[in-house]
Structure 1
Amino acid sequence: MAKQDSTIDLVFGLDDKPRFSVSVFAALQHVLASFIGIITPTLIVGGVLGLGSEVPYLVSMALIVSGIGTFIQARRIGPIGSGLLCVQGTSFAFLSSILAAGFIVKGNGGGPDEILSTIFGVCFLAAFVEIFISRFIDKLRRIITPVVTGTIITLIGLSLIKVSMTDIAGGVNAPDLGAPVNLALAGVVLITIVIFNRFQIHMLRLSAVIIGLTLGFVVAWSIGKVDFSGLDELSLIAIPVPFKYGFSFDFAAFMPIAIIYMITALETTGDLTANSMVSRQPVDGPVYIRRIKAGVLADGVNSAIASTLNSLPMTTFSQNNGVIQLTGVASRHVAIFIAAILALLGLFPIIGGILQQMPKPVLGGATLIMFGTVAMAGVKIIAEAGLNRRNMLITAISIGMGLGVAGVPEVLSAMPQGLKNIIGSPLTIGALSAIILNFLLPQNMDVAPETAAEPAETAEKSESSEAEKRSMPRAAVSRPANS
């Protein structure tokens, strides 16, 4: 049974109201810890799918909906929201599925508007999968076990490594693909992140990625690889327009995204549990279960809002739990200030415009570590579930299927196009494989056949032992005083 961490010294508890200066300072640290995580998925999708001039607006929407989602999650509106100091942000877990959806539309001749129309339409409808799951999230773990979750998360990270390496080389169809200067820029970012992760100062470790990207950006600008000439064409203010690009649906794109919503629901459960622990809140019992259900429901609702306002699906960030431990401020009222700062940043497209100019190698240097970390998080979950024969078989087959289809897509060339679009996604075929194998393979397959007779022998020994105990003096079978 999980327990609260009594070693955490809180200055302000969950329902305390810190003074204005304390709230703003704590909020700024949360924004700093989550800022790169919020905007990077949008920058990757925009760059890989060639969305061009739409990227600054999309970055603005990502920041605005993160502010809205953070407010809903912490403030609690009716049954929606955990009531914890949680930051909502764009989820990396959806990237491979969203990119696959974009390529399906692009392959059919669609432009940026059609791509975004399909992505946001599919993500909006799939969000109701998480909304539905939130009502019985406590029972879902019996179906989607840690070995399934770990396998899928590992596959997500591994499948995205190709995106990072392409960016490190210079980007898709770059004229200087693989040039030494591109590799050097990525190396500067990588080395900076590694160095800052070695610092004992917690805030410097939290800021390692943003410091690495900033240094890489400055170096790239100094050697002429950054062009700010198009910033004067950006609008002054970004106004959210519901379904600005339209609303389309594609079932082949829907399936993998719906599966990821199921997985992120379980991830959110873990993040909210960790947040409850650092906030000195219950981590078992009816209050805890209600909080988890309300938090996962908020994740689904916030993702639906994000799709409506032209942004990618959202999830509860985990890095902010470290900020709570660092500052000692767990007050959910701080979320109001976090939401205000994020929304204010999102109102100005120039922020997205500047970030869009970040050279691909600089971004790739950071995302290589991010995606590698995602994969290792999945490996850690698998290891904690136990590396027995059954779990290794599930993991090996599922990851093999996913990476195999990604590496040799021709293996499905004889299948109907509709089916190929669905199972042609590494994530879909890997996830389905893990779920089906976990359901079919017996839990006791690691037990050797010769041990089948042991229960009878054990029972006989137990009965004999009990008979001996009954025949002994009472003091002889009592627990020793020093045990």
Structure 2
Amino acid sequence: MSDAQAPQPRYKSDLIYGLEDRPHFTAAMFAALQHVLASFVGIITPTLIVGGVLGLESEVPYLVSMALFVSGLGTFVQARRFGPVGSGLLCLQGTSFSFISVILSAGFMVKARGGGTDEILSTIFGICFFAAFIEVVLSQFIGKLRKLITPVVTGTIITLMGLSLIKVAVTDMAGGYGAADLGAASNMGLAALVLLTIVVLNRFNNPFLRLGSIVIGLTLGFIVAWWLGRVDLAALPQVPLVSVPVPFKYGFSFDWVAFIPVAVIFLISPLEAAGDLTANSMISQQPVKGPLYIKRIKSGLLADGLNSVMAATFNSLPMVTFAQNNGVIQLTGVASRYVAYFIAGLLVLLGLFPMIGAVLQLMPKPVLGGATLIMFGTVAVAGIKILAEAGLHRRNVLIVAISLGMGLGVAAVPEVLRELPKALHNIFESPITVGAFCAILLNIFLPEEFMELEEDEFDPEASTLKVMQDPDPTK
């Protein structure tokens, strides 16, 4: 979130429809379709990954439907505003990648003790339900939270998230967990096709091709896989015509050990969302300082938290404000929050048909891995960018080096935890938890004087460590 005292970036006045304007039906629907196109893969991919890795294939069609359904409801809440809930901006809500690694850890924990599909899902949604209230509470104290969870902490945790998920993407590229042909040339070839397609399309100046590059890459990979006989349409699972949203369909369970890593991510989730809401305000030509801005941020974060509560209730993963849709607003010149009503309607409609999830479930793992490698790598780069903006002077380098080293070290050599009591072992086997605790504690106990010493020792104008602030937070 931008500091209210700092100079605020300005965007060109290219809006065709402002925040409170009401576009005619054709313009609103066209803009809504572009938002759905830009976000569709992001909404469904976390569910496909969690379902595939944890062996929940029988439930994936329904879970994908619920991800789309709650994204539609959350988008409506965020734009419509209900009392103090909702930013009133054209903000699309979608499933968050930030929670994948800790949710997978929770799922494996339940699976290791013999839990079946229902127990795994009831535990995941139970801990996410309660953890989401952390964001609900923190939304009203975002200023104080920023003093504890500083950019160096946030950047370290986000970088660790991306790096820890790379293994999932590369395993999918090779064929997926437990595949008999893991690492086969055909698997790597499919993944490379998707990867190269996305890279090539991003080289074009056409914004439509760039926005749709992941969707096009996945579609091309799916078609080629089908042509090679890698997609068996006969294996399409039998699903009902319409998905009926059932609150806590799989039951409701809770586990303290699994809860803590998820709670840690909910500590930094408000900071990410605040940055996205600030960028959206800038693009929509709304204030980015003053009482209205503060109220909008608090209301938007409150909606984020309550939407994650709703997501867990309707059997979906936690949600967050999507940053990529800020680019769609710039592209279309349509910032009207009423367009969000069309987006919400389209997502809810898509979510009512489980056949969409059933077809997507047939997507070969290498095809999905080729796209998620870029997505997860982008998460890591976003964290690195935050660290660069925070400044890599001596104090911050120590925090980042130790936190990343501990987090990645535990992931690479889990045996270092074998002497810990079982409860602590289960908590700290997540690299995100280890890295987050290290970063937060070091940030508290390492004095700020380290930074002052650096400023005395180096000429800010000549130092190669000087931070160049990027005026565009949407990049």
TM-score calculated relative to the size of structure 2: 0.94
Q: Distance in 1 between matches of 2:114 and 2:355?
A: 30
* 1:437-460, Cα deviation, whole Å (9 max, x unpaired): 0000011124459979xxxxxxxx
- Give 1:317's aligned residue: 322
Whole-angstrom CA distance in 2 between matches of 1:278 and 1:434: 32
Relative distance call for 1:236 and 1:287 in structure 2 (3 A) is same
1:268 aligns with 2:268: no
Structure 1 match to 2:45? 40
Indicate the residue corresponding to 2:176 in structure 1: 171
Q: Deviations over 1:62-116 (max 9, x none)?
A: 0000000000000001110000000000000000000000000000101111100
Q: Map 1:24-173; keep pairs closer than 5 Å.
A: 24-173=29-178
RMSD across aligned positions (CA): 1.3
1:425 maps to which residue?
430
Change (3 A) 1:236 1:139: same
How far apart in 2 are the matches of 1:449 and 1:44?
A: 43
Give the whole-Å Cα distance in 2 for the aligned partners of 1:6 and 1:200: 20
In terms of mean alpha carbon deviation, does 212-221 or 5-14 score higher? 5-14
Cα distance, 1:204 vs structure 2? 1.0
Could you tell me how far 1:264 is from its partner in structure 2? 1.1
- Equivalent residue in structure 1 for 2:205, among 200, 203, 213: 200
Map of 2:13 onto structure 1: 8
SS at match of 2:449: coil
C-alpha displacement at 1:424, in angstroms? 1.4
3-state SS in 1 of match to 2:94: strand
CA–CA distance in 2 between the matches of 1:448 and 1:236?
66
Q: Where has structure 1 moved over 3 Å in runs of 4 or more?
A: 446-452
Partner of 1:362: 367
Tell which structure's C-alpha radius of gyration is larger: 1
Distance in 1 separating the partners of 2:237 and 2:129? 33
Deviation at 1:139, TM superposition (A): 2.2
Inter-partner Cα distance in structure 2 for 1:14 and 1:7: 15
Residue 470 of structure 2 corresponds to none
Counterpart Cα distance in 2 of 1:78 and 1:231: 44
Instruction: Specify the alignment match of 2:384 in structure 1.
Output: 379
| Cα deviations by residue, 1:233-268 (Å, 9 ceiling, x for unpaired) | 111100000000000011111111111111111000
Deviations 1:39-79 (A, max 9, x none): 00000000000001100000000000000000000000111
Which residue matches 1:335?
Answer: 340
Contact 1:4 / 1:278 at 8 angstroms: preserved in 2? Answer: no
Question: Does the 8 Å contact 2:173/2:366 carry over to 1?
Answer: yes
Asked if the contact 2:236–2:362 (Cα under 8 Å) also holds between the matched residues in 1, the reply is no
* 1:394 partnered with 2:399: yes
Q: Which runs of 5+ in 1 are unaligned?
A: 453-483
CA distance in 1, matches of 2:93, 2:261: 22
Q: What's the CA shift for 1:5? A: 2.4
Output the CA distance in 1 between the equivalents of 2:161 and 2:90.
Answer: 27
The alignment's TM-score, normalised by the length of structure 1, stands at 0.92
1:236 equivalenced with 2:241 (yes/no): yes
> How many residue pairs align between the two structures?
452
1: CA distance, partners of 2:415 / 2:9: 51
- Counterparts of 1:138 and 1:33, CA distance in 2: 31
Q: How far 1:377 sits from its partner (Å)?
A: 0.6
SS of residue matched to 2:142: helix
Q: Distance in 1 between matches of 2:200 and 2:17?
A: 32
Name the CA distance, whole Å, in 2 between partners of 1:65 and 1:451.
Answer: 52
**1:478 alignment counterpart:** none
Report what 1:476 is aligned to. none
- 1:415-450: CA deviation from partner (whole Å, max 9, x where unpaired): 111010111110001000000000000111244599
Instruction: Report the Cα distance in structure 2 between the residues aligned to 1:437 and 1:364, rounded to whole angstroms.
Output: 35
User: Sequence identity, in percent?
Assistant: 67
SS of 2:320 mapped into structure 1: strand
Task: Note the 1:217-256 alignment, pairs <5 A.
Answer: 217-231=222-236, 233-256=238-261
